[in-house]
Amino acid sequence: MTSEQIQANKEAYIKTCRDHISRDGLESLLAYLEKGDFYTAPTSTKFHLNEPGGLCLHSLNVFHTAMALYEHVLKPAVESGCSPFDSLPAVESVAVSTLFHDLCKIGLYHETKKFTKDENDRWVAYQGYNIEDAFPFGHGEKSAFLVERFMRLKSEELLAIRWHMGMFDMGEQGSSQRYTFYRALELSPLVSLVHNADMLSSHLMEKTTKH
């Protein structure tokens, strides 16, 4: 991703936040993002968008995917009476839950020199990332905690951010955790919406850089 693309994504992200979120604390949260590496960090070390700027782009992708699911899947189902839910989450809640779902990755990935073999079986160096977590508080849990430092979250937003990884979260290791996740799915359509938007964005829309 070029520096121009990173800057364009940053501007699009900030505009999307301001267009769809009118809650107290938004500007303070955006100021916090400005101080860290949110706009330049990757979204993973060796999977989807493992490149500078990946985290911001991924967050935008999840928002747009969630809105597509909202308009073309969830809304028609609720309005026709087919859905187990009888009301829609606010669009602002979709924006909050998607645009901030991965704040846990701020300051997480640190550039380091790594090595791989080329087509001639020779070792070559490339710029990669290591994980150094200064505040190991979980994945979704940490994101929700960071947002709450600046902006009050609704209960369904907390659930959606906490469980956006679904069963791919390392915390999903027993019957009590499975029950908690399934119960969250039953309580609000926002939980499924954010989880599926995250999975679809990660696996259908975002390439992995191979070295």
Residue 126 pairs in a beta bridge with: 114
- pLDDT tens for each residue of 121-172: 888 888 889 999 999 999 999 999 999 999 999 999 999 999 999 877 755 5
Torsion of CA 83, 168, 157, 25, to 10 degrees: -150
pTM for the whole structure: 0.93
Residues 33-41 have a mean pLDDT of 97
Domain locations in the chain? 3-205
Q: What is the pLDDT of residue 128?
A: 83
Q: What is the pLDDT of residue 172?
A: 54
- pLDDT tens for each residue of 73-91: 999 999 999 999 999 999 9
Sign of CA dihedral 58, 63, 69, 74: positive
